Structure 1
Amino acid sequence: MTAHPLAGQTVAVFGGSSGIGFATAQAAHALGARIVLVSRSEDRLDRARAALGDAETRALDLRDAPAVRAFFDAREPFHHVVVSAADLSVGPLRQRSLADECAAMDSKFWGAVNVAHAARIVAGGSLTLVSGMIGTRPTGAATMLSAINAAIDTLAKALATEMAPVRVNCVSPGRIETPWWDYLPPDQRLALFDKTAAATPLRRIGRPEEVAAQIVHLMQNGFMTGSVVLVDGGGSVG
């Protein structure tokens, strides 16, 4: 087995400037892939490129469908595309404005749809979406996000039949320690992580690189499509 199984392959990572997306870019880069990082923030992209050492970057908002289309039309087809981007906040539906809930849907669900609609991917390549465990085990503490994640799971399955021979899969993480949680004060964040860990069989939360490992596996496994893979430390059954 070659030490660089993705050598010569191109990988676009939407949401690639931090968290799961950046961990995926690191893992794919280590296996020889050429990386294009896509994110809304130029500053975060600059930091991610410096940390990765070798990557193209593009500032882009997934909610802008024409811009997403132009991004793909200006390049040769990718071997693999990953969508982990989402700009959203969460809470109980009845405690939030409908405008905020529509914005969450626009970012995470319609952002994934925009990429799927425009992506140019080589035959046998892959599109991997990232949903979340609460699509399988919904919670009223994040009602719309539960629904959005379930929709992304189904989107991946349907796209697998539509886009073949391009392979389409979805990775559904549990609670992962990423910068997304930085909106919480440190003591609240730690309490939430401790509470989550206590309720899962592995008694801990996940790390971005653990989700990235599964995403990169899906890039390489040519017989996987239409799958929704839970990477949740057993949280969906705990």
Structure 2
Amino acid sequence: MNKLASTKVLVVGGSSGIGLATAKAFAELGADVLIASRSADKLAQAAGKIGGTVRTAVLDTTDELAVETFFSHTDQFDHVVVSAAQTPGGPVRKLPLQDAYAAMNSKFWGAYRVARAVNIAAGGSLTFVSGFLSVRPSQSSVLQGAINASLEALARGLALELSPVRVNTVSPGLVATPLWDKLGADARQGMYDGAAARLPARRVGQPEDIANAVIYLATTPFATGSTVLVDGGGAIA
């Protein structure tokens, strides 16, 4: 029995990377998928890659009024995934405070705004995407680790507050997404190769790996308040 057939799914940040792979996975399992992000152009491109009857909506999760207005005009969802985030990074003493505030506003407060406004069916799910730096800190990415840890704590609390809606987090390690396109091709491949050599899994992650974990959480009725690491062993390496 396909547990996702005809369910209504929203993927915030569904226009690229992990969000796009997640939206595609839900669509392939028969869900009615709506993808949302800030860029109409990226949404149109993503919809073409997903195919089927996927719908799109422009949404900036850093805009409180826009989030509240958006959800006041949408129906109830069965499953919601929040993977949208822009988090500039760097050492605490060098990262401008404005950039630090923007990172927190995007990844943590963006998810918070969605969680307080969205209507999810009883027994449905809300899934955040954090990152393994929450448990494996980096001296050059302290803020990202703190944001990820706070997002995971938010999910655990919401699992109590929003019950019987289930709330979980997927925590990826290094994943080959367009996030790294800013690096040159050689530098990017060198980073991937170096990471693969260090990781117990001997490979870097693909967006589909993370999407698989999201699908697991959405379709497992006993999973709530959980953080699932999908990091190739990065947290223990």
Q: Please confirm whether the aligned pair reaches a TM-score higher than 0.5, indicating the same fold.
A: yes
Q: Partner of 1:67 in structure 2? A: 66
Q: Partner of 1:48 in structure 2? A: 46
Q: Partner of 2:25 in structure 1? A: 27
CA RMSD of aligned residues (A): 1.0
Secondary structure at 1:13's aligned position in 2?
strand
Q: How big is the shift at 1:47?
A: 0.4
Q: How big is the shift at 1:74?
A: 0.7
Q: Partner of 1:178 in structure 2? A: 177
Equivalence map 1:162-177=2 (5 Å): 162-177=161-176
Q: Structure 1 residue 190 and structure 2 residue 172: aligned? A: no
Normalised to the residue count of structure 2, the TM-score between the two structures is 0.97
* Separation in structure 1 between the aligned mates of residue 30 and residue 3 of structure 2, nearest angstrom: 7
Equivalence map 1:59-208=2 (5 Å): 59-208=58-207
Q: How big is the shift at 1:183?
A: 1.6
Q: How big is the shift at 1:5?
A: 2.5
Q: How big is the shift at 1:50?
A: 1.2
Q: Partner of 2:235 in structure 1? A: 236
Gaps of 5+ in 1: none
Which residue type is aligned with residue 22 of structure 2? T
Which residue type is aligned with residue 119 of structure 1? V
Q: Structure 1 residue 224 and structure 2 residue 231: aligned? A: no
Q: How big is the shift at 1:171?
A: 0.2
* Separation in structure 1 between the aligned mates of residue 44 and residue 184 of structure 2, nearest angstrom: 26
Secondary structure at 1:94's aligned position in 2?
coil
Secondary structure at 2:78's aligned position in 1?
strand
* Separation in structure 2 between the aligned mates of residue 187 and residue 51 of structure 1, nearest angstrom: 26
Structure 1 residues 191 and 94: alpha-carbon distance in aligned structure 2, compared to 1, 3 A threshold: farther
Secondary structure at 2:66's aligned position in 1?
helix
* Separation in structure 2 between the aligned mates of residue 71 and residue 61 of structure 1, nearest angstrom: 10
* Separation in structure 2 between the aligned mates of residue 235 and residue 189 of structure 1, nearest angstrom: 18
Preserved contact between residue 5 and residue 32 of structure 1 (Cα < 8 Å) = no
1:180-236 Cα offsets, whole Å, 9 max, x none, are 111222222222222221221011100000100110111111110000000001111
* Separation in structure 1 between the aligned mates of residue 230 and residue 96 of structure 2, nearest angstrom: 31
Secondary structure at 2:93's aligned position in 1?
helix
* Separation in structure 1 between the aligned mates of residue 28 and residue 40 of structure 2, nearest angstrom: 23
* Separation in structure 1 between the aligned mates of residue 74 and residue 198 of structure 2, nearest angstrom: 45
Q: Partner of 1:13 in structure 2? A: 11
Which residue type is aligned with residue 43 of structure 2? L
Preserved contact between residue 133 and residue 173 of structure 1 (Cα < 8 Å) = yes
Gaps of 5+ in 2: none
Secondary structure at 2:84's aligned position in 1?
coil
* Separation in structure 2 between the aligned mates of residue 43 and residue 76 of structure 1, nearest angstrom: 24
Secondary structure at 2:141's aligned position in 1?
helix
Query: Percent of aligned positions with the same letter in both sequences?
Result: 50
Secondary structure at 2:176's aligned position in 1?
coil
Q: How big is the shift at 1:99?
A: 0.6
Which residue type is aligned with residue 71 of structure 2? F
Which residue type is aligned with residue 49 of structure 1? A
Which residue type is aligned with residue 104 of structure 1? A
Secondary structure at 1:140's aligned position in 2?
coil
